[in-house]
Amino acid sequence: MRGPNVVLLAMRGPLAYEVLRALHAMGARVKLMCDRRSSIRFSQYCETLYVSPDIATESADRILQLVNAQHGREPIDLVVASDVAGVMLLNGIRSELSPPVFPAPDNATLALLDNKWRFQKLCLTLGIPAPDSIFFESKETLDLARVERELGYPVVVKPVDLSGSDGVIIAENAESLLRRLRSDRHHRKAGAGLIAQRYVAGQDWGYIAFAIDGHVDVALTFACGANWRTEYRDNPELHDAARRIIEHVRYTGMVNFDCRLEDETGIFQFLECNPRFSHRITATRLCGLNFLKVALGAEAQLCGDVCYRPLRDVFTRQGAGDLVRGRWPLSILVTELSETVSDPIAALIQKGPWRSTAQRAMSPLLHRLRSARP
């Protein structure tokens, strides 16, 4: 039985590749619309439908025409956007698109949840714990005396509208904070403001779910580690708090909450919301739950006491121990290794720690090689 025919609107960055891998794993035939600077188009898992000079500023009408024209040539089962910017673009033309669009929140909900300051205020309104925070319109208006008086040090400062840890600064004192603000490239341009937040000492946790109109279809809670290490642990307290937010905003689509289990109080503090696909969709998929399949009606069950580790962890003592004990199933390791080998160029560029440098260096060469194909 053939898989669905999917158009993937992929903004720049590694998240789009995680979505592509999930689509490929369910047998989807993917037509890609992406930025010309993105190496995802060199993946063996897709065919390129359209390469934009700058997909982030692409005309919605242009996307509409291309998708509907492709649908006329070969029926498309689903149109998927990999991140918030893509979802907002599709929301503007959703009613005019001929094929169905992957469930996603409306733009008002995205504007609420994708902004760290607005999300923090929402949590307080709902009585959900979140660290004390102060909003500043820019780094020039940052009041260091107020930060020290109301939050103390160490303190976390981050842009309200960026993701993936971009621009996140943890400072031990005012001098360190000022120095980091001047040097961090994410703070050089004026944006939507920044938030100073009380530092919470504790363990990082996450919540990932797919919901329709405020009803959670499937959700997982997990403890986080470095390099996307993921240990799945069911936590009713975290499930309940996240569900209250989802129900309140009548959320539809994929969503991820970043939390920290505070050492001192044992309380989950909600840090931010990612109203989109999460990088953890690869970990959950390899452990038995492909959220894209679930969203299309399939049933899937995550394995029991299981963890996901990056390939490099096979050489560490803890990783080897988890393999021996079966907490990191060998099947997961083999599956991820085979995916990397079957799509080596895109996998290494997108997932490696040197991704940005290698992508800039190799993208022109790869483009010439691909153009030279008969």
pLDDT tens string 104-153? 999 999 999 999 999 999 999 999 999 999 999 888 888 999 999 999 99
Please state whether beta strands 5-10 and 29-35 pair in parallel, antiparallel, or not at all (unpaired): parallel
- The count of C-alpha atoms lying within 13 angstroms of the C-alpha of 1, restricted to the half-sphere facing its C-beta, is 2
Tokens of 364: 């022109």
pLDDT at 238: 97
- CATH for the 132-198 domain, from 3.30.565.10, 3.20.20.70, 1.10.10.10, 3.30.1490.20: 3.30.1490.20
Give the residue extent of every domain in the chain: 5-102+344-351, 132-198, 203-341
Please state whether beta strands 133-136 and 194-198 pair in parallel, antiparallel, or not at all (unpaired): antiparallel
Please name every residue paired with 198 in a beta bridge, in sequence order, or none if there are none.
155
* Intrachain domains 5-102+344-351 and 132-198 with the same fold: no
Q: Taking 50 as the threshold, does the pLDDT of residue 250 lie above it?
A: yes
- Mean pLDDT of all residues belonging to the chain: 87
In this structure, are residues 195 and 157 in contact, taking their beta carbons and an 8 Å threshold?
Answer: yes
pTM for this predicted structure: 0.88
- In CATH terms, the superfamily for domain 203-341 is ATP-grasp fold, B domain (3.30.470.20)
Give the residue carrying structure tokens 């100073």.
196
Q: Long-range contacts for 300-309 (Cβ within 8 Å, ≥24 apart)?
A: 300/218, 302/220, 302/232, 303/232, 303/329, 305/232, 306/232, 306/332, 307/229, 307/230, 307/231, 307/232, 308/228, 308/229, 308/230, 308/231, 308/282, 308/283, 308/284, 308/332, 309/229, 309/333
Please name every residue paired with 155 in a beta bridge, in sequence order, or none if there are none.
171, 198
- CATH for the 5-102+344-351 domain, from 3.20.20.140, 3.40.50.300, 3.40.50.720, 1.20.58.100: 3.40.50.720
pLDDT at 165: 72
